[in-house]
Amino acid sequence: MSISDHVDLEVGRAGWREEAACSGLDTTLFFPSTEDDQGQLSVARQVCAICPVREACLAYAIESRQTVGIWGGATTRERRRLRRRWLERARRAS
Ligand code: SF4
């Protein structure tokens, strides 16, 4: 069982990255030097908010435990929280 079993996405779909709204943008926007940079975080989140593959991106980042960057509009700290919640739900369901 994985996170992608629990969210509405097509994480297995080949080439989801090709549809990314951030494709062609400066990648440093999504890898701020600090997660406390609210200005940069806000711009990255605006791009993620309109991204057609946001859920796939977020699930990928959580499952592969990406430790840096903004993925699916979520910071590393936020992804850790989401992962903990998912693990708790999975434990309760088993
Ligand atoms: S959700 Fe954000 S980081 Fe992920 S592919 Fe889309 S624009 Fe890029």
The 10s digit of each residue's pLDDT in 60-75 is 999 899 999 999 999 9
pLDDT 10s digits, 79-93: 999 999 999 998 999
CA of 9 to the centre of ligand 1 (A): 14
What is the overall mean pLDDT for the chain? 86
Give the DSSP per-residue string, 24-73: TS-GGGGS-S-TT-HHHHHHHHHHHHT-TTHHHHHHHHHHTT--SS-BTT
CA of 92 to the centre of ligand 1 (A): 30
The stretch 9-13 carries a mean pLDDT of 51
Q: How many structural domains comprise the chain? A: 1
How large is the angle between the packed helices 54-63 and 38-49, nearest 10 degrees?
120
**Which of the listed residues 30, 60, 78 should we mutate to test ligand 1's pocket, taking the one with most ligand atoms within 8 A of CB?**
30
Ligand 1 pocket, residues with Cβ under 6 angstroms: 20-22, 30, 47-48, 51, 53-54, 57, 70-73
Q: With H, G, I as helix, E, B as strand and everything else as coil, classify residue 86.
A: helix
Provide the residue range defining the domain that includes 32.
3-93
Hey, CA dihedral for 38, 44, 49, 54, is it positive or negative?
A: negative
Worst-scoring range by mean pLDDT, 2-6, 7-11, 31-35, 40-44? 7-11
Supply the pLDDT for residue 9: 47
Q: Which residue has the higher pLDDT, 5 or 45?
A: 45
